[in-house]
């Protein structure tokens, strides 16, 4: 699996083809980015774990200087998470606007 370091993304400001935000437990968000055709999870360099965001505003702030072609929010079923099921067919995919609204 390919990974991106959050610190590198925020300093290099790449053109991002797709931002996929996965909602977990209603208040934790994990990012997957597609840059130059390569999809990967965003990791925090300091913890070597996936970078965790607490809100979509936190994500917008982190990616504010990157050009984002498309973004989506995948909202997993809370029921499936609660009982320990993996990915669900009931996931809801919504468009997400990363660029600040002017």
- Residue 102: the pLDDT is 45
Spatial separation of the C-alpha atoms in residues 86 and 5, rounded to whole Å: 25
- How far is residue 56's CA from residue 23's CA, in Å, rounded to a whole number? 10
Nearest to 51 by CA among 65, 66, 31: 31
Structure tokens that stand for 28 in this block: 């934790």
Give yes or no for residue 101 having a pLDDT over 80. Answer: no
- Predicted pLDDT of residue 25: 73
| Per-residue pLDDT at 71 exceeds 90 | yes
Quick check: pTM over 0.85? Answer: no
């Amino acid at each position: 699996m390919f990974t991106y370091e959050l610190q590198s993304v925020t300093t290099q400001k790449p053109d991002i083809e797709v931002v996929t935000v996965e909602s977990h437990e209603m208040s934790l968000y994990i990012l997957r980015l597609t840059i130059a055709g390569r999809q990967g999870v965003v990791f925090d360099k300091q913890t070597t774990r996936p970078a965790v965001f607490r809100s979509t505003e936190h994500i917008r702030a982190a990616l504010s200087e990157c050009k984002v072609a498309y973004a989506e929010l995948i909202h997993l079923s809370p029921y499936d998470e609660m009982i320990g099921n993996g990915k669900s067919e009931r996931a809801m995919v919504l468009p997400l606007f990363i660029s600040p609204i002017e």
